[in-house]
Amino acid sequence: MPVPANHPTLGDLSDTFALWQRIDARFAHWDEVEASLQPSRDTDRGRDSQGRAGFVAYARASNYLMAARDHHVLLVKMIDADWLTPYGAWSPLRALFENSFLALWILHPETSEERVKNGLAMVLDEHRQHGIRLGIYHRLHESASPSTEELADMEKTKELHARIVADFNKLGAPYGLSIQSTGASVTAQIQQSRVFSDEGKGVAELVWRMASSLQHGDTAALYTTSKTTPTEASQTVTVQFDPDSFLSAYHFTLDLFSRAIGEMVMRSTTESPATPPSATKKVKRPRKKQTQDGTGRTTR
């Protein structure tokens, strides 16, 4: 890492370096896993991905990890350049937290059914959000007097999205999911998940709420996470970046990120015994044995 061990703003970064090295090692392992064409069928990922629902669930988790990696790289570069400001430093931290948590929310459950269901729920919500964006785009475009060809293209886009919605609703139906029923908040997911201990849920929610509030310009959150000094002869204060507040939240988030990558590697490489059939899957009933009665007729 190019970052100095004794950072001018953050101070001693030995603990941070240890987390970075663990993340780099796990990502190197993950890159090797992703380079292989298909995971072993004897792993959780291999079994989960045999159906289309499981395949898209793991694709969603992989996308979250890639997004988390991008924000992680951005934050390291900000630290290296010492571009840490009371509001700005928390924005990529929020994105790193959210993507790491959602990846782990999909990958952490012990049962195949719950992993696939959680991943599929996020894919369905992604298409719900896409439908909202398409609606706004079409309304804006229609107000600009589009040509006949442009109107025809918009209709094709609407029809394509409608088919996608129907397809994913069908995929989610065995799990009790539909595009219309998705959209749980990250806060609700934190409290409902088993990713954290009871105490960890409180810390996770605090980090999430604080980073989100700072990204939205919340003054109370700014004062809580910054060093403030009252100015003389005035009712205002000066605000400075507080390394202690940031580092505690950052280390918690880095540990979450590391866990998410480790979980993906474990699900993709560790052979495990097959789990019982999912309750959502149809099980064929055994046929009754055929016998003959006293007349020689076959009965069931």
pLDDT digits (tens, 9 = 90+) for 201-256: 999 999 999 999 999 999 999 999 999 888 776 677 889 999 999 999 999 999 99
Question: What value does the mean pLDDT of the chain take?
Answer: 87
User: What pLDDT, on the 0 to 100 scale, is given for residue 233?
Assistant: 67
∠ CA 116-117-120, nearest 5°, is 80
Domain membership of residue 32 (yes or no) is: yes
Domain membership of residue 244 (yes or no) is: yes
Q: Is the pLDDT of residue 196 over 80?
A: yes
The total number of structural domains in the chain stands at 1
Q: Worst-scoring range by mean pLDDT, 13-22, 95-104, 228-237, 272-281?
A: 272-281
Domain membership of residue 188 (yes or no) is: yes
Domain membership of residue 12 (yes or no) is: yes
Domain membership of residue 298 (yes or no) is: no
pLDDT greater at residue 39 or residue 221 = 221
The 10 Å Cβ neighbour count of residue 104 is 25
> Where in the sequence is the domain holding 206, given as residue range(s)?
6-273
Pick from 107, 134, 132, 127: which is nearest to 168 by CA?
127
User: What pLDDT, on the 0 to 100 scale, is given for residue 155?
Assistant: 87
Residues 50 and 116 sit within 8 Å (Cβ to Cβ): no
